[in-house]
Amino acid sequence: MTPVILCGGSGTRLWPLSRGQHPKQFLPLTSEHTMLQETMLRLSGLGGLKSPISVCNEDHRFMMAEQLWEIGVKPAAIILEPVGKNTAPAVAVAALSAESEDEILLVLPADHVITNIEPFHSAIVEAEILARQGYLVTFGIVPTHPETSYGYIMRDSAQQGSSFKVAAFVEKPDLATAKNYLKSGDYLWNSGMFAFTAGNFLKELEKFNPEILSACKQALSAAKTDLDFIRLDKTIFSTSPADSIDYAVMEKTDKAVVVPLAAGWNNVGSWSALWDVTDKDAFGNAISGDVLTVDTKNSYIFSENKLVTVIGVEDMVVIETKDAVMIASKDRVQEVKQIVDQLKQLDRSEAQVHRKVYRPWGHSDSVDTGDRHQTRRIVVKPGAKLSLQKHHHRAEHWVVVKGTALVTRGDEQILLTENESTYIPLGTVHRLENPGVIPLEIIEIQSGSYLGEDDIVRFGDSFGRV
């Protein structure tokens, strides 16, 4: 069985912590590990698993590779989507990349929480048996309350064991309908997790959505291998219809079965959902970071950078990051997407990036910005180096705070250690490199008429960037 890890999506409902360039699946929201890492780690103990196939946005490729490397996972492939087309095309390219048509794919979104691992593993074992019999299996979550933010699966007569034929997929209900679903016992939450052989999924996709399959075949055939990544052809992949597995295949096939799953599942789709799965104090507050409260109950309070104090509130969400603060009633946190939409309309960077930006070589944090200057704290991993580059509109001054820096400046190379510095004049070709075995930390002061990230001319880059 091959895990297929779906790592697309922007996680806008968890803004300001989740951003377009660093969405929730790459964040440590419920433990010290990121949600992507938790998705892989909870498979530990299952026998017969092969290396995973991961599908992610092209912009997230280095976070995907590094986070898997951190937990000792080497994927069979990391497939890069040049544009988001929903889950059906993503799974199609994974299925086309499988070793054989008989390979069983275990499709898992990378942003779920599952707290009870034993029944989760048992459900996977049952799903594997059904998949080998030719079924397309989905996992239906046994509902614990009348939820209105999930789609539902209506089960039919028993198939075998504890699985059922799928009678229907239904959209997110209103509260009254959700209560009726819960009372009937015939409805399960739609988890978005699946198991099937690559061949059976592709046959059903060809039957019901041949346009998707054709575009994916062509995009994969024209794909280019870049380091450990498979880059799908953008022009061809863009022609694929955008559709979910549910709409494209599962609602139409007569081979769909559902395995009920009661394992403490949550898709962490909002701040209120994250409050549900987070440990709380005696007053029902889920608190992270430097936080003090007085007469505060049943709230989610997160501080990334500053002391946050909260007095006399109940059922609230308070989120502080280095560059944004979000305050909302817990029952209205779904509306944070409207804030993100406004940020995008205003072309504000807070919709896409944090003040602290992760790069394949390390990360940088913009400490201070003015009209003609910017100060950044840069951390370079041992053995890593930035691209060879120059700028047309800015000069840079580098001060080493920790570690050793190898600086290329024009035709010369300079070795700098702590408390030493160098100046990079405007227009000078340069590179920063960490030749040491500990992280290199520098303070960079930029000055000039334009300080945008697009003022970079790269002459050599190890990371496939233009």
pLDDT tens digit string along 102-150?
A: 999 999 999 999 999 999 999 999 999 999 999 999 999 999 999 888 8
Residue 147 exposure: Cα atoms within 13 Å on the Cβ side: 24
Q: How many CA atoms lie within 13 A of 101 on its CB side?
A: 7
Classify residue 16 by burial, with Cβ atoms within 10 Å: 0-12, 13-18, 19+: buried
Condensed to tens digits (0 to 9), the pLDDT of residues 402-439 reads 999 999 999 999 999 999 999 999 999 999 999 999 99
2-266 classified as CATH 3.90.550.10: yes
Residue 460 pLDDT: 64
Burial 280-301 (b: 16+ CB within 10 A, else e): eeeeebbbbeebebeebbebbb
pLDDT at res. 8: 84
| pLDDT score of 9 | 79
Sign of the C-alpha dihedral computed for residues 339, 341, 346 and 349 taken in this order: positive
Query: Which residues are CB-neighbours of 331 under 8 A, at least 6 positions away?
Result: 272, 315
Stretch 37-66: mean pLDDT: 91
Q: Is the dihedral of CA 168, 126, 146, 312 positive or negative?
A: negative
Spatial contact of 294 and 314, defined as CB atoms under 8 Å apart: no
Residue 395 CB partners (closer than 8 Å, separation 6+): 423, 424, 425, 426, 446, 447, 448
Q: Which two structure tokens, joined as six digits, stand for 360?
A: 């394949």
Q: What is the mean pLDDT of residues 79-104?
A: 94
Give me the helices (H) in 60-195, please: 61-70, 87-97, 117-132, 175-184
Cα of 450 vs its chain's centroid, Å: 32
Residue 461, SS3 per DSSP = coil
Whole-model pTM: value is: 0.85
Pairing of strands 362-369, 373-380: antiparallel
Q: Is the dihedral of CA 381, 382, 388, 390 positive or negative?
A: positive
Q: How far apart are CA 405 and CA 399, in angstroms?
A: 10
Q: What is the DSSP letter of 83?
A: S
Token couple for 24: 């929730």
Q: Where in the chain is the domain with CATH 3.90.550.10?
A: 2-266
- Give me the CATH topology for the region 356-460: Jelly Rolls (2.60.120)
pLDDT at 385: 92
> What SS3 state is found at 40?
helix
CATH 2.60.120.10 range(s) for the chain read 356-460
Output the CA–CA distances (angstroms, integers) from residue 76 to 54, 60, 73, 229, 340, in the order listed. Answer: 8, 17, 10, 10, 35
Neighbours of 221 (CB within 10 A): 11
Among the listed ranges 80-89, 436-445, 454-463, which one has the minimum average pLDDT value? 454-463
Mean pLDDT (the chain, rounded): 92
